[in-house]
Amino acid sequence: MIKKTHEMGIRSGHACTAALASIGLTVAARVGSLKMEPGTGLARADRWGPFVGEWAPTFFGLGPALSRYEQQDGTLTGAHVHEFRERQRAG
């Protein structure tokens, strides 16, 4: 699954960004549902917030898995690559 995800162009940074975005969307959904739809009450806000919030752990799990794959594949880019290679040389 990780290889296929990587082949689709999704990188570890994308997964981490999606995780953080889902946390923000959770807060926005909860607050927005309470303020924009006052007639529906707390029940709807209590459903939407956790629903979106359940995505974050999946993305946080996918991020490191993709990062590990990128390190093995040699496609990891950015400042972390230099640090990673220095650590490998050091020991």
Count of the separate structural domains present in the chain? 1
Q: What is the pLDDT of residue 17?
A: 92
Give the pLDDT score at 21: 93
Dist CA 83 CA 45 (whole Å): 43
Answer yes or no: are the C-beta atoms of 73 and 7 closer than 8 Å. Answer: no
Domain span at residue 28 reads 2-90
Predicted pLDDT of residue 76:
66
DSSP one-letter code for 22: H
Q: How many CB atoms lie within 10 A of CB 66?
A: 24
User: What pLDDT is attached to residue 79?
Assistant: 53
Token pair, residue 40, equals 């529906």
pLDDT tens string 40-87: 656 666 676 777 788 899 999 999 998 888 888 776 665 555 555 666
Half-sphere exposure of 13 (CA within 13 A, CB side): 8
Over the stretch 24-41, which tens digit does the pLDDT of each residue have? 988 887 777 767 666 665
As a whole number of angstroms, the distance between CA 51 and CA 33 comes to 13
